[in-house]
Structure 1
Amino acid sequence: MTPDAIEDAAAKLLKAEKAGEQCGLLSLAHPGMTLDDAYAVQAALIARKKAEGRKGIGWKIGLTSRAMQQALNIETPDSGVLLDDMLFADGTTIPAGRFIQPRIEAEIAFIMKQPLKGEQVTRDDVVAATEHVAPSIEILDTRIQRADPVTGKARLITDTVSDNAANAGIVLGAQRHAVDAFDLRRVGAIVKRNGVVEETGLGAGVLDDPVAGILWLVRRLARYGAGIAAGEIVLSGSFVRPVEAPAGAEFEADFGPFGSVKVTFG
C-alpha cells in the first residue's frame, strides 16, 4: 500500500468509530494488502487518535489460541495499542452507543515495572519486568464489517490488525498479584453473561503460557525499534472465545482465587 492509501484507510477507520457505523473491508479494497501494511494502517490510526489528545497506556495481544488462529487461517498472534480512553473501572456500566458491535474476552493483564525491548529478551526478563498480574476483561469492537454484504467475503487478519486488533476497551479487576504467585497456565475463568455461563478456559490456552504472549509482543515490536515501557498494561491474550455484548448485558469473569471482573453494557 502507498503512504496515501495507508492514511486514507486510517481516516476511514477513525470516521467509522466516530460515526458508529462500520466501514467496508480494507482487504477487499486493497487485495494485495500485507500484514506490514495492516500494522502501518494501525500505526497511522493510533497517531491520529494521539493527535486528538489520547495517550498510550499499553498493548493488547490477540489470536493467541490455536482455535482462533485456525478460524482465521493464520499461524501467528496479532497486537494492538491500548489508549487511556479505553480503560474502564471494575463494575462500570458502559454508556449506550459507545461501541458498534462489542464483544468481551477474559484475559490475564500484566502491569509492567520495567521496560522491555529487543529480540534477545527472554522469559525470565519478562517475569523480572512485571510488577503485577491482574484479572481483566477486554472489550472488542469492529469498526470494519465482519463480512462484505455483497460478495460475502469474510474479514481477514489484515482487516483486524488495521482495526487496532479489534481492541476497544479494558476493564481491570481490583486484585493485583506477583507474577509468580500463581501458575498462570492454570489460572482459569468462568465467564457469565446475565448469570449464564458462556465460556470457560485456562491460561494455558494462551500459547501454553501467558508469559509467552508478552515475549512474542516484545520480539514483534523489536522489528520496528519499539518496545514495552515501564508502567504499561499488556493484555496477554484471551483463553476464551469472544462473547457478544448486546445492550443490557451484564458480565462477570470469575477467576477464582485470582480475582474477578464485572462490566455492564448500558
Structure 2
Amino acid sequence: MDNDKIERYGDELFEAFVARRSVPPLLGREPEMSIADAYRIQQRYVARRLESGERVVGKKIGVTSKAVQELLGVYQPDFGILTSGMLCQEGDSIDLGALIQPKAEAELAFVLKHDLRGPGVTAMDVIHATDYVSPCFEIVDSRIDGWRIKIQDTVADNASCGVYVLGSAKGDPRRLDLSLAGMLLEKNGELFSTGVGAAVQGSPANAVAWLANTLGELGIPFEAGEVILSGSQSALVPVADGDELVCTVGGLGRCRVKFSGRSAV
C-alpha cells in the first residue's frame, strides 16, 4: 500500500476519533491490505494524536483470550499504543459521550520499573522488570462501523484503544501466581464472568513478553514507567449510563469503574 493511502486512512481514523463517529471497514475498501500496512496506518493515527498534544505512556496487547477472539472473529493477538489522553482515574465516572461504541474488559496491567527491549525477552524478564501489577479495566472502542473488524481493521485502529482505568491495588508479581490468580467481574452488583490469568497465553507475563519481543523486532522498546496492558481475562462487557463494574483479582485486589452519559452509537 502506498504512502498516500497509509496517510489517508490514518487521518480518517484520527478524524473519526475526534468527531466520535465510525467509518466503514478498511479491509472492505482495501482487500489487499496486509497486517504490515495496517500497522503503518496505526502509526499515522497515533502520530496525529501525539501532534494534538498527547504523549506515549505505554502499550497494550489485544485479542489474546479465546472469548474475545471468538466474539470478534479475530484469532491472533495485536498491539496498540497507549497515550496520555486514554488514562482515567479509578473513582471517576467515565463519560460515554466521549466514546463511540465502547465495551469494557478486565485485565492485569504491568507498570515497569526497568526498560525492556526484545527480542529474547522471557516471562521471567518481564517479572523482574515490573514495578507492580494492578487490576485494570480497558474500555475498548472501535472507530470501525458496528465492530465489523478483521485483524487488519483493528490493528489500523490502534488495537481498538479507547480509555483505561488502573486500580489502586498494587501487587508484587514475584509474590503472585499470575497464571492461577482468579478474576471475578461484577456488573451492577451481579457476577458477569470469571477468568484466570492462564487464559491469556498461559500467563499475562507471557503475553507481555510476546509484545516486548514483537516490538523489539520493530526497534520499539518498553520504557521504565510505562503501563503495559496484558490482555483481557473477561468477556467483553457492554456498558451504558449508570453501569458500575468491579473486577477482583485473587491475592491482589480490585478495580472499580462507573459510567455516565451516552455513547455515539
Q: TM-score range by the shorter chain?
A: over 0.9
Q: Does 1:190 align with 2:184?
A: yes
Q: Does 1:17 align with 2:17?
A: yes
Counterpart for residue 133 of structure 1: 133
Alignment of 1:148-227 (within 5 A): 154-227=148-221
Q: Distance between the aligned counterparts of 1:185 and 1:96, measured in 2?
A: 32
Query: How high is the TM-score relative to the length of structure 2?
Result: 0.94
What SS does structure 2 have at the residue aligned with 1:246?
A: coil
Amino acid at match of 2:98: R
- Cα distance change of structure 1 residues 142 and 46 upon mapping to structure 2, 3 Å threshold: same
Q: Does 1:146 align with 2:140?
A: no
Amino acid at match of 1:186: L
Is the 1:192–1:253 contact (alpha carbons within 8 Å) kept by the matching residues of 2?
Answer: yes
- Cα distance change of structure 1 residues 67 and 191 upon mapping to structure 2, 3 Å threshold: closer
Counterpart for residue 47 of structure 1: 47
Amino acid at match of 1:31: P
What SS does structure 1 have at the residue aligned with 2:174?
A: coil
Give per-residue Cα distances to partners, 1:29-77, cap 9 Å, x unaligned. 1111111111111111011100111011001101112343355555531
Q: Over the residues paired in the alignment, what is the CA RMSD in angstroms?
A: 1.5
Q: Does 1:254 align with 2:248?
A: yes
Deviation for aligned residue 1:229: 0.7
Amino acid at match of 1:215: A
Counterpart for residue 263 of structure 2: none
Deviation for aligned residue 1:114: 0.8
For these two proteins, the number of residue pairs brought into alignment is 260
Counterpart for residue 229 of structure 1: 223
Amino acid at match of 2:212: V
Amino acid at match of 1:37: D
Is the 2:169–2:255 contact (alpha carbons within 8 Å) kept by the matching residues of 1?
Answer: no
Give per-residue Cα distances to partners, 1:196-249, cap 9 Å, x unaligned. 222210111000111001111011102211111111000011111110112221
Deviation for aligned residue 1:257: 3.2
Gaps of 5+ in 2: 261-265
Counterpart for residue 97 of structure 1: 97
Q: Distance between the aligned counterparts of 1:87 and 1:68, measured in 2?
A: 22
What SS does structure 2 have at the residue aligned with 1:54?
A: coil
- Cα distance change of structure 1 residues 189 and 124 upon mapping to structure 2, 3 Å threshold: closer
Q: Distance between the aligned counterparts of 1:237 and 1:122, measured in 2?
A: 17
Q: Does 1:114 align with 2:114?
A: yes
Is the 1:190–1:200 contact (alpha carbons within 8 Å) kept by the matching residues of 2?
Answer: yes
Is the 1:92–1:262 contact (alpha carbons within 8 Å) kept by the matching residues of 2?
Answer: no
Is the 1:72–1:157 contact (alpha carbons within 8 Å) kept by the matching residues of 2?
Answer: no
Amino acid at match of 1:18: V
Is the 1:60–1:236 contact (alpha carbons within 8 Å) kept by the matching residues of 2?
Answer: yes
Counterpart for residue 151 of structure 1: none
Is the 2:183–2:248 contact (alpha carbons within 8 Å) kept by the matching residues of 1?
Answer: yes
What SS does structure 2 have at the residue aligned with 1:214?
A: helix
Percent identity of equivalent pairs: 38
Amino acid at match of 2:158: N
Give per-residue Cα distances to partners, 1:161-205, cap 9 Å, x unaligned. 111101111111111111111101112221122222222101110
What SS does structure 1 have at the residue aligned with 2:184?
A: strand
